[in-house]
Amino acid sequence: MGVGWNFAEAKEAHILVTGYSNVAVDNIFLGLRAMGVAALRVRSAGGALVGTNELAAVPGTIQYELSRHQKTHLAASLRSQRKTDQARKYEREAAREIITAAEVVCATCVTAGGDLLASCHFSHVLVDEATQSTESATLIPIVRGCHTLVLIGDQQQVKSIQRAHSLLGLATLIERCSDVRCRRPRR
């Protein structure tokens, strides 16, 4: 990866890495794992990394980690006994433990607003493809307790998306921040 981040210095930080697309987040996740970072990929079934049935076979995905967690096996046993409320409790506890143990959690902007991350707070949020993501989608991961925000994107890269956004009256957070910074105060 081109940008270095010292994870040893950020041990106390809970880091969320997001992007607008599954492809971007998958690439970051795989790069972090290759660097030895304890990254966790959180996403709904399906997506670009693997097919729906294969998620439990990819180390570092929430599906894989849940399939190996003791509380998930206990929950399965409870479900077979039709004790679904207790089973859900154990499944939520297992997910919370797995997410808390990760150095970095990787998810799309929209998935960051889902049930799995609902009770999580992230002091550091990195948003890749920030020039492609609408302002509203980019705000989803930011509301997770963000103290440090990094927006990454190349506004020259994807002109067709920018045209579509402008036709729909949408803006990216980077465009909004650029507009505010570049405006001269009225006298």
Q: Tens digits of per-residue pLDDT, 71-118?
A: 888 888 888 888 888 888 888 888 899 999 999 999 999 999 988 888
Residues 6+ apart with CB under 8 A from 69: 94, 97, 98
Interatomic CA distance for residues 86 and 66, integer angstroms: 16
Residue-range domains of the chain with CATH:
15-68+103-182 (3.40.50.300)
Query: Is the distance from CB of 131 to CB of 162 less than 8 angstroms?
Result: yes
Beta-bridge partners for 104 = 15, 39
CB-CB neighbours of 92 under 10 Å: 16
Below-70 pLDDT ranges, the chain = 1-13, 45-56, 154-187
Q: Which pLDDT belongs to residue 49?
A: 44
Q: Which pLDDT belongs to residue 103?
A: 92
Beta-bridge partners for 108 = 19
CA 123, 129, 132, 134: dihedral to nearest 10 degrees?
A: -10
For residue 140, what is the enclosing H or E element? Answer: helix 135-142
HSE toward the beta carbon, residue 12, CA cutoff 13 A:
2
Q: Which pLDDT belongs to residue 88?
A: 87
Q: Which pLDDT belongs to residue 32?
A: 94
